[in-house]
Amino acid sequence: MNKKLSSGVAVFLLVLTLLAGCSTASNKTDQDSTSQDKKDSTSVANKQDEKAAREKANKELISDITELAKQGKIINCEFPVRTTNFGDVENTWGKADQTSWVPAAKGTYSAYSKKNVAFGWNKGMAIFEVRSFDSRLKNITMADLKRNLGTPAYDTKADGQQIIGYTTGTDYKLLFVLAQTTDVNTNPALDHYSVFDPRGTVNSMADDPGREW
C-alpha cells in the first residue's frame, strides 16, 4: 500500500508540474501577443503622426510658394520676374554657373547651382521665369499639390516629365515639374517649380506671341 501510495503521489505531482508548465507557457504567449499588439499599435500611430506632420509641412511650403508667386517671386530668392533685369542678378550674385539659349522656352537660362535657382531672360535681359530647385520640394508629391491647389489649369507630359500649371491672382503662372505618372509611380515627387511671366516671352518684332505656359 505504501508503494502504491508513493507511486500515486509521484504521478499526481508530475501532473501538477506539467499543468503548471503549460499555464506558464500560455501566460508567456499571451504576454508576447499583447506586447506585439502594443508595438504594432504604436508603429501605426507613429506612421500616422509622421504622415500628418509631413502633410502639414508641405501645406505650409505650398502656401509660401503661392503667396510669393503673386509677387512674381520664388522661395529663397529676392528677384521677381518682369521687374528684374538679369544684369541686376549678376551684379548681386556674380556670373551664373551655366548659361544657355533654350529655343522651346523662348529665352536664355542661367543657373546658380549653389542658390538652387535658375533664371529665364529675354533679349532685353528682362527676367520672365525664375525656377527653384530647393531640396524641400522633393518632399512634395502630385497628390499634395492637387490637394492644396485643386485641379491644375495646365497639365502636359513630355520627355518623361509631367508639368502642371496654375494661375496666381495675377497674370503670373506657377509651373510644377514632376516625373511623369505611370502605373508604377502614380504619385511622383516634385523636382522643381517656377514662377512664369508669359508677357516676357512675347517678341513683337518677330511677330512671336510667346509662351502661354
Distance from C-alpha of 133 to C-alpha of 83, rounded to nearest angstrom: 22
pLDDT tens sequence across 28-66: 666 677 776 666 667 677 788 888 999 999 999 999 999
Tell me how many domains the chain contains.
1
Is the overall model pTM greater than 0.75, yes or no?
yes
The rounded mean pLDDT for the chain is: 88
Q: Taking 90 as the threshold, does the pLDDT of residue 171 lie above it?
A: no
The answer to the question of residue 34 being in a domain is: no
**207 or 49, higher pLDDT:** 207
Position 15 scores a pLDDT of 46
Q: Taking 60 as the threshold, does the pLDDT of residue 7 lie above it?
A: no
The answer to the question of residue 30 being in a domain is: no
The answer to the question of residue 170 being in a domain is: yes
Q: Taking 70 as the threshold, does the pLDDT of residue 18 lie above it?
A: no
Position 12 scores a pLDDT of 47
pLDDT tens sequence across 90-139: 999 999 999 999 999 999 999 999 999 999 999 999 999 999 999 999 99
Angle at 70 (CA atoms; ends 196, 144), nearest 5 degrees = 80
Under 8 Å between Cβ of 168 and 175: no
189 forms bridges with which residues in the sheet? Answer: 141
* CB atoms closer than 10 angstroms to residue 53: 10
Domain range enclosing 201: 54-206
